[in-house]
Copies of this chain bind each other. A is one copy, B any other.
Amino acid sequence: MTSIAFIKGYHLPLIHKHWLFLVLMLSAITINSQESIASKLGYPADARLLIIHADDLGVAHSENAASIKAIEDGVVNSASVMMPTPWVLEVAEYAKAHPETHDFGLHLVLTSEWKNYRWGPVASIDKVPTLINEHGYFHAGCKPEASLEEVEVELRAQIDRAFAMGLVPTHLDSHMGCLMQSPELIEVYLRMGQEYKLPVMVSKAFPEELIKKYNVKVVLEEIVMILPKQFNEGLAAYYNEAIKNLKPGVTTILIHTAYDNDELKAMTIDHPEFGSAWRQKDYDYFTSEECKELLEKENIKLVTWRQLKEAYFSDK
């Protein structure tokens, strides 16, 4: 597997045409904030810190159940929740029952990507016409041309609903990377974090001028996500290499944990990439002894967005 170049693509599972754009964004901008993050969390400056982050909570019962199991029994230690999805209350119930131990952020959603299983905005559909299709669902793919005002209305509606449901998010991130499709969208994304006093999932690959403009203090070293080519070449080998090659600083690995059952097979029909069997394999790896032992052997320290939020956004 040594020939595989790591593509630290952001979370864009479905819109393949956007990958190139993101890979191009992953240029080597140097921002010397990582040492201070490690120190601020109480680790040596060269510590290799990792967030193992399950995306897409709320999307299906299968995804919720497997992700919570992978958090409780595996090494997954963080996740983010899609507020417009049908099963989000199941996650909110879990979060309220485990107020201190979970690390759930909001996976801000502008898409509804599955063929026969859809959802629409949290905001009133009258208010966000550029975000929806003819049936009132979100579009299947990112729409960089959507109204920025409507994007902001919808993101505020999602964040406000989370708090109203008793979810207290530890961070914000972006489903399918839709909020990374233009500098203007990145600005909306960063502004949400600033206003709601929440860390936003950004890495050194983001535009330096925006990181400075919004005074973003929590900047990840890298955001790692397996892509179809690596998946086909071997998931465990990819993750093993990714873990061995972690750099000092905070990295996050974005994964999608679910059970490969009837519900998830139907949800991901006609879409093997990031599909049902894929998600089961993510679950299997991140609940395996192999992964756990590798993290110990490599002396990787698991940290959470909750720790980062408390370190940088606490009033203390």
Task: Give residues in A with beta carbon < 8 Å to B.
Answer: 60-62, 65, 86-87, 89-90, 93, 115-119, 122, 124-127, 134-136, 161, 164-165, 259, 261-263, 266-267
Contact = CB atoms under 8 A, between A and B. Distances in A.
A86 B125 contact: no
Nearest to A89: B116
B90 A117 contact: yes
* Total copies of this chain within the assembly: 2
A310 B88 CA distance: 42
Contacts of A261: 261-263
Contacts of A134: 164
A86 B118 contact: yes
Contact of A65 (B115, B126, B266): B266
B86 A86 contact: yes
Nearest to A85: B86
Contacts of A165: 135
B136 A118 contact: no
B117 A61 contact: yes
A192 to B, nearest CB: 20
A104 to B, nearest CB: 15
Contact of A263 (B62, B93, B115, B124): B62
5 contacts: A60-B263, A61-B263, A86-B86, A124-B124, A259-B262
Contacts of A87: 116-117, 266
Return the 5 tightest CB-CB contacts between A and B, nearest first.
A90-B116, A263-B263, A124-B126, A61-B266, A86-B86
